[in-house]
Chain A
Amino acid sequence: MSVAKPLPHDAARLHVTGQARYVDDIPTAAGALHLAFGCSKVAHGTLQSLDLAAVRAAPGVVDVLTAADLPFANDVSPSAHDEPLLATDSVHYVGQPLFCVIATSHLAARRAAGLGTAKIEPLPPIFDVETALAQNSRFEDGPRIYERGQANTALETAPIRLSGQMEIGGQEHFYLESQAALAVPGEDGDVLVHSSTQHPTEIQHKVAEALGVPMHAVRVETRRMGGGFGGKESQGNALAVACAIAAMRTGRPCKMRYDRDDDMVITGKRHDFRITYDVGFDATGVITALDVRHDTRCGWAQDLSLPVADRAMLHADNAYFIPNMRVESHRLKTNMQSATAFRGFGGPQGMLGMERIVDHVAGHLGLDPMAVRERNFYATGAAAPPQSTHYGQEVDDFILPGLIAQLKDSADYDARRAQVDAWNAEHDVLKKGIALTPVKFGISFTLTHLNQAGALVHVYQDGSIHLNHGGTEMGQGLFQKVAQVAADRFGVPMAAVKITATDTAKVPNTSATAASSGSDLNGMAVRIACDKIRNRMAAHLAELHQCNVAQIRFEDGYVITPAQSYTFAEAANLTYVGRVGLSATGFYKTPDIRWDRIKGEGRPFFYFAYGAAISEVVIDTLTGENRILRTDILHDAGASLNPALDKGQVEGGFVQGAGWLTMEELVWDDAGRLRTHAPSTYKIPAASDAPDIFNVALWDGENRADTIYKSKAVGEPPFMLGMSAFFALSHAVSACGPDYPDLQAPATPEEVLASIARAKGV
């Protein structure tokens, strides 16, 4: 069995020796050219003219492209065709690409790009939620509303009623490898594009449109990314399209990688949200009614904002059954980077809003928030019929109560909460806080047709196996997990399986590797392809030996018939000589899902993934500085395909989530310029910021849904475990005064200080 083993990452040996190739490491033929964008310095306006004489005259410059030079589609949007590669007559944010320099080196291109000037007649920009609402600047014609029960009447009759608001900041992906693409022109108008992308098919599609050729003329290959996190789902389109156009124009390989500054200024980030709520509950903390409103700034183009905002609505309940619940979501168009996919895809913002409501209710009643959580959980156990979410999906796999009991026990939660309170009573300057937060995250793309995947498997006559599928590798370990599936189906050692780069010429029409779906979808497609070949091999050997197919086993590198056992290589060769095909495709689509996103009704998710975390923090009440002292996590990965890689996802997800809520802050100035556009001003967690004590375990249990080897998706859900750090801070601040601290995210030292003042009522 190769599944369920904690094998290292498939390319670990190459990574530790610096031999693993990223796009920027691919050797190019002499004469390769490099690209850089010249960008708008104005947030909103009419583009009147570009003066590019100095750019063209700069050393190393071969050509400069503007919108007028683009031969076909000028569009890199993944959704609404509202995102030109190069601006035409209007500009919509500071950082929008206006022209593209093609030069002999990366530095020459960047230097020259700085020499262009644009005449832009400014128009009033829209930055904040109020202005966007006042001017009805939004995507879709109005808000989306999902409702179950009668939230507003139930609020009227609720024993206690509370309202509040929370601002949730965005987040820069900060994948360590910035966006990159390389296009190599081929014969007869063909082009090969290497792209650091989570979505090779979309790159292929956009490049084909831009070149005015069918998709078959464009091949996209992605071996790996140096991190993605959703930031490479659509944001790589511009680079790949620009490189392809430049390569066709010049006949030379063309490469583009964003400088870190450019990457931060040009590309989209996590959506920020304002959550406004009106909640009704009783004196024990049971919530009976909730009306919650989401206002999210989507930036200038639609990109993936609609499904992101939908997913936020779908997670506005987190783990709680609220009989009367209404969610209203406004997707606002603003003159900023176009916010995009980021691990959790809106889910974290929706969930954080709900956890904040629970925290506020508990604060109001003077209860441990954990008690309020437990009183509102979805029903569980055979006795209780499954309850439905506010969008009508039955929660029939709710394992959180058992999972949380185990976590509380292993982390000694109750005793430690009492100790924290006692410690706080004796300390004035430093205050501690502890919180347990749960996660329930829906798995599947909410756009139902994306829940499909393909694979291509070849067995060669020497018994070696070539494995390909539509998923991309960004560090999450997908390639290894899927290879473990293939090795298991054939009963061969891992070394027999060759993992190959994602390639649109091998598996077509793939979905983005996103929504945590990589292993679920591609693992199944690979299993189906492998089983086709295995069955053919077995049928051939059964015929040779006049035995029953069911008697043939594939184990430990052997194919065993009742009469004789062959090495896998011998069996492959025999099958080949018997003129039986040893190549197969596999195709899988997720069963049992349906979703009407306008009505907000259906069963959008195949299943839910669960987890819970306990974090303990300490704050300095004089400076607002804080750190995480200890975190304990129990996370549900089903029957894990590879527990080591899955634990890695949990640890990394938690730290990234805690970073989002405690230290990562995006700041734009009044002119719409992103001021935090470099790692000097935008801080992500360093090794010294991770928890001092960090215990992570996987929940021991199978997925009840019929997934690949009963495993569960694990890419996104652990990100939301970072909420425990935020609510531990809220607890610590609560110890400073009688009032609810009303902590906003991110809880930077400044924000912690401000919330201490609120808690003290000053």
Chain B
Amino acid sequence: MSNKMHIKMNVNGEEQEFLAEPRELLIHTLRERLDITGPHIGCETSHCGACTVTIDGKSVKSCTMFVAQANGKDVTTIEGLGGPDDLHVLQSAFKEHHGLQCGFCTPGMITRASKLLEENPNPTEEEVRFGMAGNICRCTGYQNIVKSILAAASELQAAKEAAE
């Protein structure tokens, strides 16, 4: 179809350039064009959070953003946080504290949690629950997700104090 737009964005540290319909949803760009399948599609209507990524330092549900809006931006997905052999603190916390069952919500959860801990490095349990309320999980009942995030927060805090 007509009206393709020249898009440039940095995804997980790599420059990407391509032509796309401006109204293509960012989640489709990531999954179908760039084969980045960590962000998942749970609803495509901004309610579940499975597609959460970070754009210029903010949590964004990538199903609510057109690719044109991400033009020129820095996008980080779960793949950019850490790989199987170099897990981010949050990633190992979710693994060790059983913060997942089917795993479908997990990439979005962790990506969102990574921003939550930047916004609020020392959250209470209640702040975690409200800070994560935009990401739904049908399996875990959230208990272990909250535990994982709190464990990661204290580990990050401890590392920060040790560095100071």
Q: Do A and B come from one complex?
A: yes
Chain A residues packing against B (C-beta within 8 Å):
6, 8-9, 11-22, 24-25, 27, 59, 105, 107, 173-178, 224-229, 257, 259-260, 474-477, 644-645, 647-649, 651-656, 678-680, 684-688, 690, 692, 694, 696
Known: A9-B98, A176-B105, A226-B102. 5 other contacts (CB 8 A): A176-B136, A226-B40, A475-B103, A652-B139, A687-B146
> Within 8 Å of chain A (Cβ to Cβ): is B10?
no
Report the bound CA distance from A14 to B94 in whole Å. 11
User: Quick one: closest B residue to A473, CB to CB?
Assistant: B102
Is the CB–CB distance between B45 and A17 below 8 Å? Answer: no
Is the CB–CB distance between B41 and A688 below 8 Å? Answer: no
Binary interface profile of B, 18-43, with partner A (CB < 8 Å = 1, else 0)? 00000000001001100111111111
Interface of chain A, helix or strand or loop or mixed?
loop
Report the bound CA distance from A696 to B164 in whole Å. 38
User: Quick one: closest B residue to A13, CB to CB?
Assistant: B84
User: Which of A19, A25, A175, A652 has the most chain B CB atoms closer than 10 A to its own CB?
Assistant: A652
Q: Which of B101, B106, B139 contacts A16 (CB 8 A)?
A: B106
Is the CB–CB distance between B48 and A475 below 8 Å? Answer: no
> Within 8 Å of chain A (Cβ to Cβ): is B142?
yes
Is the CB–CB distance between A13 and B87 below 8 Å? Answer: yes
Give min CB distance, B74 to chain A, whole Å: 18
Give min CB distance, A180 to chain B, whole Å: 10
Is the CB–CB distance between B84 and A17 below 8 Å? Answer: yes
* Contact flag A680-B45 (CB < 8 Å), given A12-B100, A13-B95: yes
Is the CB–CB distance between A227 and B129 below 8 Å? Answer: no
Give min CB distance, A635 to chain B, whole Å: 13
Report the bound CA distance from A229 to B1 in whole Å. 40
Q: Which stretch of B64-72, B75-83, B155-163 is in the interface?
A: B75-83
Is the CB–CB distance between A696 and B143 below 8 Å? Answer: yes
Is the CB–CB distance between B98 and A644 below 8 Å? Answer: yes
Give min CB distance, A167 to chain B, whole Å: 24
Give min CB distance, B102 to chain A, whole Å: 3
B122-150, CB < 8 A from A: 126, 128-130, 132-146
Give min CB distance, B146 to chain A, whole Å: 7
Give min CB distance, A674 to chain B, whole Å: 16
Q: Which chain A positions have C-beta within 8 A of B132?
A: 686-687
> Within 8 Å of chain A (Cβ to Cβ): is B47?
yes
Count of chain B residues near A, Cβ 8 A: 61
Is the CB–CB distance between A690 and B41 below 8 Å? Answer: no
Is the CB–CB distance between B95 and A8 below 8 Å? Answer: yes
Q: Which chain B positions have C-beta within 8 A of A651?
A: 140-144
Report the bound CA distance from A16 to B107 in whole Å. 6
Is the CB–CB distance between B84 and A652 below 8 Å? Answer: no
* Contact flag A20-B136 (CB < 8 Å), given A9-B98, A687-B142, A688-B130: no
Q: Which chain B positions have C-beta within 8 A of A680?
A: 45, 47
Give min CB distance, B130 to chain A, whole Å: 5
Cross-chain pairs A/B with CB under 8 angstroms, 22 sampled: A8-B95, A9-B103, A12-B95, A12-B103, A16-B94, A17-B79, A17-B83, A18-B106, A177-B102, A226-B103, A226-B104, A227-B139, A474-B102, A475-B100, A475-B102, A644-B98, A653-B141, A655-B142, A685-B142, A686-B133, A690-B142, A694-B143
Give min CB distance, B52 to chain A, whole Å: 11
Q: Which chain B positions have C-beta within 8 A of A27?
A: 35
* Contact flag A477-B101 (CB < 8 Å), given A679-B45, A679-B136, A688-B133: yes
Is the CB–CB distance between A687 and B145 below 8 Å? Answer: yes
Report the bound CA distance from A72 to B82 in whole Å. 49
Q: Which chain B positions have C-beta within 8 A of A260?
A: 42-45
User: Quick one: closest B residue to A172, CB to CB?
Assistant: B138
User: Quick one: closest B residue to A19, CB to CB?
Assistant: B84
Report the bound CA distance from A174 to B47 in whole Å. 12
Report the bound CA distance from A176 to B44 in whole Å. 11
Report the bound CA distance from A687 to B138 in whole Å. 10
Q: Which chain A positions have C-beta within 8 A of B41?
A: 24, 178, 257
Is the CB–CB distance between A686 and B136 below 8 Å? Answer: yes
Is the CB–CB distance between A14 and B84 below 8 Å? Answer: yes
Q: Which chain B positions have C-beta within 8 A of A8?
A: 95-96, 98
User: Quick one: closest B residue to A654, CB to CB?
Assistant: B141
User: Quick one: closest A residue to B36, CB to CB?
Assistant: A18
Q: Which of A12, A225, A679 contacts B94 (CB 8 A)?
A: A12
Closest 4 A/B residue pairs (Cβ): A18-B38, A475-B102, A226-B104, A15-B103
Q: Which chain B positions have C-beta within 8 A of A647?
A: 98
Q: Which chain A positions have C-beta within 8 A of B59?
A: none
Q: Which chain A positions have C-beta within 8 A of B37?
A: 18, 21, 24-25
User: Quick one: closest A residue to B140, CB to CB?
Assistant: A652
Is the CB–CB distance between A648 and B144 below 8 Å? Answer: yes
> Within 8 Å of chain A (Cβ to Cβ): is B110?
yes
User: Quick one: closest B residue to A105, CB to CB?
Assistant: B32
Q: Which chain A positions have C-beta within 8 A of B153?
A: none
> Within 8 Å of chain A (Cβ to Cβ): is B91?
yes
User: Quick one: closest A residue to B134, CB to CB?
Assistant: A686
Give min CB distance, A225 to chain B, whole Å: 6
Report the bound CA distance from A25 to B37 in whole Å. 6
User: Quick one: closest B residue to A696, CB to CB?
Assistant: B143
Q: Which chain A positions have C-beta within 8 A of B28?
A: 107
Q: Which chain B positions have C-beta within 8 A of A694?
A: 141, 143
Report the bound CA distance from A8 to B103 in whole Å. 12
* Contact flag A648-B101 (CB < 8 Å), given A176-B40, A226-B40, A690-B141: yes
Report the bound CA distance from A222 to B143 in whole Å. 28
Report the bound CA distance from A655 to B96 in whole Å. 22
Is the CB–CB distance between B43 and A678 below 8 Å? Answer: yes
Q: Which of A6, A19, A257, A687 contacts B135 (CB 8 A)?
A: A687
Is the CB–CB distance between A19 and B96 below 8 Å? Answer: no
Is the CB–CB distance between B144 and A17 below 8 Å? Answer: no
User: Quick one: closest B residue to A718, CB to CB?
Assistant: B141
Report the bound CA distance from A530 to B160 in whole Å. 48
> Within 8 Å of chain A (Cβ to Cβ): is B117?
no
> Within 8 Å of chain A (Cβ to Cβ): is B50?
yes
Give min CB distance, A643 to chain B, whole Å: 10
Give min CB distance, A285 to chain B, whole Å: 33
Q: Which chain A positions have C-beta within 8 A of B144?
A: 648, 651
User: Quick one: closest A residue to B149, CB to CB?
Assistant: A687
Is the CB–CB distance between B138 and A17 below 8 Å? Answer: no
Q: Which chain A positions have C-beta within 8 A of B135?
A: 687
User: Quick one: closest B residue to A260, CB to CB?
Assistant: B43
Is the CB–CB distance between B101 and A684 below 8 Å? Answer: no
Q: Which chain A positions have C-beta within 8 A of B40?
A: 22, 176-177, 226
Give min CB distance, A659 to chain B, whole Å: 9
Q: Which chain A positions have C-beta within 8 A of B44?
A: 259-260
Q: Which chain B positions have C-beta within 8 A of A649?
A: 101
Give min CB distance, A689 to chain B, whole Å: 8
* Contact flag A16-B91 (CB < 8 Å), given A9-B98, A679-B43, A679-B45: yes
User: Which of B83, B87, B100 has the most chain A CB atoms closer than 10 A to its own CB?
Assistant: B100
Is the CB–CB distance between B96 and A227 below 8 Å? Answer: no
Q: Which of A16, A226, A686 contacts B110 (CB 8 A)?
A: A16
Q: Which of A13, A173, A257, A687 contacts B128 (CB 8 A)?
A: A687
Give min CB distance, B4 to chain A, whole Å: 14
User: Quick one: closest A residue to B1, CB to CB?
Assistant: A59
Q: Which chain A positions have C-beta within 8 A of B146?
A: 687
Q: Which chain B positions have C-beta within 8 A of A655?
A: 140-142
Is the CB–CB distance between B48 and A679 below 8 Å? Answer: yes
Report the bound CA distance from A107 to B126 in whole Å. 39
Is the CB–CB distance between B103 and A645 below 8 Å? Answer: no
Give min CB distance, B115 to chain A, whole Å: 15
Report the bound CA distance from A27 to B37 in whole Å. 10
Q: Which chain B positions have C-beta within 8 A of A259?
A: 44
Q: Which of B38, B100, B136 contacts A9 (CB 8 A)?
A: B100
Q: Which of A18, A20, A228, A685 contacts B77 (CB 8 A)?
A: A18
Report the bound CA distance from A680 to B78 in whole Å. 25
